[in-house]
Chain A
């Protein structure tokens, strides 16, 4: 039997082209090449399958040129006629995860070729695509490659061969809302008692029926008179006073910063910078107003277009930072914003 043909999608980082400074790298097709994590997949594929082409694309390029990049890549995949398409795994890289999910979804929808990807559960790409694309749950960093690659590769083989895909717990993909029947070795009462005993003993246990978590916050009423409103700036783009006095981490931030901009009319390369390690910092360091628009808001304040710009801004680095952390940061500084009589917030993200 002929070998199963696989086309593999990775970003500029895993292709060893470069980090954030190369995130604008345009989509590229390499026929007959196995690149980076493709090697790990090939180990599991053995004699059954081979990567016949690798597609590489910069994370920023993909997300900023979504339609163009998607069309280009789908056309290449069509031309290569693979039996299955694999993207990533993306771990906790947000733009990469979104790219993997987007392109897998497009390949399935437009070409009818099955696809599989992998990423960390908090990757925004997971929430967006796990119901549409088989998404292997991975660790939050590339250190989890050894565990993730075989799961991705095994599921890819199954999909290519048209074999029955087992339940999410068996295959390692994120639950996608599809129920799969299978026989448990132990009967329900026994499993329930075990779970209870573990719970009572403070040992870890896993529910078999997790409750869905809907967390939607209704929009607040609009600001009535913006010319009287006190506006505060918040950012996840990591803008900090030059030297990063509170040492906000470049990724997985453990805290946020609160900085006074009373009398500051313009953020300059001499006074402010970004602490963010997840995007090319050149432009933000050159002119931090590109992320935190203090200059424009000062002008509008003078012109009476807004009431005032709040003298404190809040900032952190939204790069692999846990959802629970950012939630806690914002809970805390929102109380301060309220206490200071702030009427509205502009939150900028990179």
Chain B
């Protein structure tokens, strides 16, 4: 899906836990997530901390979208 969105001309960032799969699939902007069943969360944290963590990942995703890339890039 990420490749088809890119092909349509819309910049897209892939937020996912297993980044090697994302590389294989062909995503160009990749942001690593926390875990497979909760990519943008961590149930072990307090709700406020968890939301801060999610915000951090979303900010990374926005940073990826505003960064020019020439090739597949993982934004650690």
Which A residues contact B (CB, under 8 angstroms)?
20, 23, 60, 63-64, 94-95, 98, 124, 127-128, 215-224, 226, 229, 231, 234, 236-237, 279-284, 286-287, 289-293, 295-297, 299-300, 305-306, 316, 318, 326-327, 329-331, 334-335, 337-338, 342-350
In the complex, what residues of B have CB within 8 A of residue A334's CB?
4-5, 7-8, 10
- In angstroms, Cα B24 to Cα A20, docked, is 24
Asked if residues A338 and B58 are in contact (CB atoms below 8 Å), the reply is: no
New A-B pairs, 17, CB < 8 Å, besides A23-B36, A330-B2: A63-B36, A95-B36, A127-B24, A218-B6, A219-B6, A223-B11, A281-B37, A289-B54, A290-B40, A293-B40, A293-B58, A326-B4, A327-B1, A343-B10, A347-B14, A349-B17, A350-B37
Interface size, chain B (Cβ < 8 Å) = 49
A219 touches B26 (CB 8 A): no
Q: Please indicate the chain B residues that have their CB under 8 angstroms from the CB of A226 in the complex.
A: 62, 65-66
Task: Tell me the minimal C-beta distance from B35 to chain A in angstroms.
Answer: 6
Checking A98, A223, A299, A338 against B65 with a beta-carbon cut-off of 8 angstroms, the contacting residue is A223
Given A293-B58, A346-B15, verify A234-B1 contact (CB < 8 Å): yes
Q: For B28, what are the chain A residues with a Cβ–Cβ distance below 8 Å?
A: 217-220
The answer to whether A124 touches B58, judged by C-beta atoms less than 8 angstroms apart, is no
Asked whether A347 lies within 8 Å of B2 as measured between CB atoms, the reply is yes
A222 and B68 within 8 A (CB): yes
For B24, what are the chain A residues with a Cβ–Cβ distance below 8 Å?
A: 124, 127-128
Tell me the minimal C-beta distance from A21 to chain B in angstroms.
10
Q: Verify B43–A94 contact, CB threshold 8 A.
A: no
Query: A217–B4 Cα gap in the complex (Å)?
Result: 8
